[in-house]
A = this chain, B = another copy of it.
């Protein structure tokens, strides 16, 4: 036969390449002509990112941020309707600049310096009671008046409220211990600001504004539902806090009809005692009864490597099932680098506890049985690239396990965890890392589209609500696609 070749068959090669491409997230998406033209633009812009001398996803985000923000691709991703944010924490949503310039400039704001080099804030009508291991309280208004130029003070306050720094992040945060301590210290510092009722309300509204501006249309918010206090020291209970979230969300929707809303995942710290978690689960069941359309479920938060395991809390977590109630779980699990430890078992236990999604799931690749379960049961992994990098699970984001998950279309969504702590955008920075770092040359407009659709499909919304939200999203998407295109040149 003429033309017989003994080398690799180019047709078979092409088939396998196409097969692999079709297996990735959004790989089988049928694209409109307009979407294909957007894809040409995306490919061109991504090529610019890949040919940089410094490839942003391989760099620490603190160093890459300026490069990313300046890139046209990032601009496009900001504009893209990205759907929902399903993994973000209550007090790490709003740019710290807002806390410094707005919250701390309010009257009656006191500050003290702790003996562990952090700060505390409180609003009080009269001088607040002294706090242990803290300097005496100073009224910020008087302190600023005394200093004349408050820039230095404000910078120092800002530094206490976020992990982000212009200094070398490797030197500032040499280990997971250091970065987690600083992370928790920052929450300690902003606590007194954000739990003050007027700030609490404004903070949430500002969060909705910022996420909306970043083209996010729906939020599922992990919230501690703390006791919120008034100027006179009186405090509100958790139902009040949840009610406030709900009222404010409705208020926001009334002025932003293309915003779909928010739900709350009630969270408790995983360092707490069993009895405390048991009470929290009971409280969650009660709140779910009282706010059936607003409370999405329950989760445990805090550094997994040092916290107690899900298995340790199993009796508390089994309560709803025992009482015939359905309390959806959204467990953080597998946010660890250590393999085979008790904490590393959380992933499988989260699935055995019927978790609706998995927060992070960084260790999922190391757990073939858990991975298989999560795939078959369609339990999505909430991947937070920048969080995992800043908290030192992985250095070069190309080595993030979600790279492989995206290539095999594992159920997943991209989220931002604590953008205010990392100095990242509400969602776009993480989308950039996922699209460029995880996806490499391979991800395309279909991947982005699928990520957005996933964020709605894997939400706690009812199927009917999901359809509504998807209609809303599709309208935005069509507009976005129409606006951003290059003419195909072949």
Q: Is the CB of B396 within 8 A of A337?
A: yes
Q: Is the CB of A407 within 8 A of B322?
A: no
**Is A108's CB within 8 Å of the partner chain B?**
no
Q: Which residues of B are found within 8 Å of A337, using beta-carbon distances?
A: 58, 396, 398-399
- Contacting A407 at CB < 8 Å: which of B19, B366, B398? B366
Q: Say how far A371's CB is from chain B's closest CB, in angstroms.
A: 9
Given contacts A338-B440, A340-B441, 15 further A-B contacts (CB under 8 A): A7-B353, A12-B352, A16-B348, A20-B348, A20-B367, A20-B369, A337-B399, A339-B403, A341-B441, A365-B403, A365-B407, A368-B407, A394-B396, A395-B396, A399-B401
Shortest 6 CB-CB contacts between residues of A and residues of B: A339-B440, A7-B318, A340-B441, A6-B321, A340-B442, A8-B352
Q: Is the CB of B12 within 8 A of A348?
A: no
CA distance in complex: A440, B318 (Å): 30
Q: Which residues of B are found within 8 Å of A393, using beta-carbon distances?
A: 399
**Is A439's CB within 8 Å of the partner chain B?**
yes
**Is A317's CB within 8 Å of the partner chain B?**
yes
Q: Which residues of B are found within 8 Å of A344, using beta-carbon distances?
A: 440-441
Q: Which residues of B are found within 8 Å of A67, using beta-carbon distances?
A: none
Q: Is the CB of B394 within 8 A of A348?
A: no
Q: Is the CB of A408 within 8 A of B440?
A: no
Number of copies: 2
Q: Is the CB of A399 within 8 A of B398?
A: no
Tally chain A residues at the interface, Cβ within 8 Å: 54
CA distance in complex: A348, B376 (Å): 27
**Is A471's CB within 8 Å of the partner chain B?**
no
Q: Which residues of B are found within 8 Å of A403, using beta-carbon distances?
A: 339, 365-366
**Is A141's CB within 8 Å of the partner chain B?**
no
Q: Is the CB of A13 within 8 A of B348?
A: yes
Q: Which residues of B are found within 8 Å of A6, using beta-carbon distances?
A: 318, 321-322
Q: Which residues of B are found within 8 Å of A5, using beta-carbon distances?
A: 318, 322
Known contacts A13-B349, A398-B338, A440-B344; A314/B8 CB under 8 A: yes
Q: Is the CB of B349 within 8 A of A8?
A: yes
CA distance in complex: A320, B403 (Å): 36
Q: Which residues of B are found within 8 Å of A396, using beta-carbon distances?
A: 337, 394-395
Q: Say how far A433's CB is from chain B's closest CB, in angstroms.
A: 13
Q: Is the CB of B399 within 8 A of A368?
A: no
**Is A17's CB within 8 Å of the partner chain B?**
yes
**Is A253's CB within 8 Å of the partner chain B?**
no
CA distance in complex: A9, B352 (Å): 8
CA distance in complex: A23, B348 (Å): 15
CA distance in complex: A337, B353 (Å): 36
Q: Which residues of B are found within 8 Å of A404, using beta-carbon distances?
A: 365-366, 368, 401, 404
Known contacts A344-B440, A395-B395; A369/B23 CB under 8 A: yes
CA distance in complex: A13, B348 (Å): 8
For A345, the closest partner residue in chain B by CB is B17
